[in-house]
Amino acid sequence: MTVKEIQELIRLVNRYNLSEFKLREGDFELTLRTENFAKPSKKEVVPSVIPIQSTIPAAQTAIPAPAPPAATKADSSASEESDTSKANLVEIKSPMVGTFYRSPAPEKPPYLKVGDSIDSGQVVCIIEAMKLFNEIESEVKGKLVKIMVEDASPVEYEQVLFLVDPNA
């Protein structure tokens, strides 16, 4: 069995939320177990829609802020549209613990840049786990709004990697 075949099996185990997978082929035996193995419960993976909130660091000393100018009708409608679009973003999360890579190799260009269009099933990054390089595919179609992780940094299971606008 090749490394690519094993990677595909890992991808399928993650995609279908299997708790355990065993394969025997002659003298070769492979067992894959996930977090679901200890607590077998049916968990449905659904892209989540999240509201994005910006945080402003508190000032060291209290300085009264000037009163904001009265908002015009055009300003308030533009603000509402911005809030609405932020609330409709979909997260692409890491299906495993590992190291996040934006490109297939160090000398190659990244899979995605902010503003790129994404198709469902398109490879968006690689996560290296135990010396295996796993291609992560998008489950949503849209436009890439934000990359949440630095290249070559560690990621956790279910950590948000990308924010995608499915309406773009």
Rounded to two decimals, what is the model's pTM? Answer: 0.51
> Is residue 15 within a helix (H) or strand (E), and if so which, with residue range?
helix 3-15
Tokens 């299906």 correspond to: 95
Distance in angstroms (rounded) separating the CA atoms of residues 146 and 126: 17
pLDDT digits (tens, 9 = 90+) for 4-46: 788 888 887 777 777 777 878 778 787 878 775 554 444 455 5
Q: Are 36 and 43 in contact (CB under 8 A)?
A: yes
Please state, in angstroms and as integers, the Cα–Cα distance from residue 82 to each residue in 69, 74, 87, 162, following that order. 19, 12, 9, 19
Domains and CATH numbers, the chain: 1-45 (no CATH), 46-52+84-168 (2.40.50.100)
pLDDT digits (tens, 9 = 90+) for 36-80: 555 444 445 555 555 554 444 544 444 555 555 555 444 444 444
